[in-house]
Amino acid sequence: MQATKAVDVDALAALVPDGASMTVQKGDERDVPMALAHALIRRRVRGLRLITLPTAAYPASGMMVDLLIGAGCVASVETSGISLHELGAAPRFTQAVKSGRLIVRDATCPAVYAALQAGAKGQPFAPLRGLIGSDLLRHRDDYRVIANPFAPGDPIVVVPAINADVAIFHAAKADAEGNVWIGRDRDRLLAAHAADLVLVTVDERVNGCFFDDEAMAAGVIPADLIGALAVVPGGGVPCLADGRVDLAAVRRYQRAATDEEGFAAWLRERVLRGEPVAA
CA dihedral 81, 83, 87, 89 (to 10 degrees): -120
Q: How far is the CB of 158 from other proteins (least distance, A)?
A: 14
Q: Which of 156, 209, 231, 272 binds other proteins (CB under 8 A)?
A: 156
Q: Which stretch binds other proteins (CB under 8 A): 74-82, 170-178, 209-217, 260-268?
A: 74-82
What is the spatial distance between Cα 38 and Cα 64, in angstroms, rounded to a whole number? 9
Indicate whether 216 belongs to the interface with other proteins (CB under 8 A). Answer: no
Q: Which stretch binds other proteins (CB under 8 A): 166-174, 187-195, 225-233, 257-265?
A: 187-195
C-alpha angle with apex 236: 235 to 237, nearest 5 degrees?
95
Q: How far is the CB of 135 from other proteins (least distance, A)?
A: 4
Beta bridge partners of 6: 229
Q: Which of residues 190-209 bind other proteins (CB under 8 A)?
A: 190
Q: Which is nearer to other proteins, 242 or 261 (CB)?
A: 242
Q: Which is nearer to other proteins, 126 or 232 (CB)?
A: 126
Q: How far is the CB of 94 from other proteins (least distance, A)?
A: 5
Q: Which of 31, 34, 38, 93 binds other proteins (CB under 8 A)?
A: 93
β-pairing, 228-231 with 6-7? parallel
* 184 three-state secondary structure: coil
Beta bridge partners of 104: 77
Q: Which is nearer to other proteins, 4 or 52 (CB)?
A: 52
Q: Which residues contact 107 (CB under 8 A, 6 or more apart)?
A: 54, 78, 79, 80, 136, 140
Beta bridge partners of 205: 174
Indicate whether 55 belongs to the interface with other proteins (CB under 8 A). Answer: yes
Amino acid at 54: P
Q: Which of 12, 13, 36, 131 binds other proteins (CB under 8 A)?
A: 131
What is the spatial distance between Cα 239 and Cα 260, in angstroms, rounded to a whole number? 25
Q: Which is nearer to other proteins, 18 or 213 (CB)?
A: 213
CA dihedral 66, 67, 73, 76 (to 10 degrees): -10
What count of residues does the chain have? 279
Indicate whether 248 belongs to the interface with other proteins (CB under 8 A). Answer: yes
What is the spatial distance between Cα 18 and Cα 14, in angstroms, rounded to a whole number? 10
Indicate whether 153 belongs to the interface with other proteins (CB under 8 A). Answer: yes
Q: Which residues of the shown chain bind other proteins in the complex (CB under 8 A)?
A: 26, 28, 53-55, 57-58, 79-83, 85-87, 89-90, 93-94, 97-98, 100, 103-104, 106-111, 113, 117, 128-137, 139, 153-156, 184-187, 189-190, 243-248
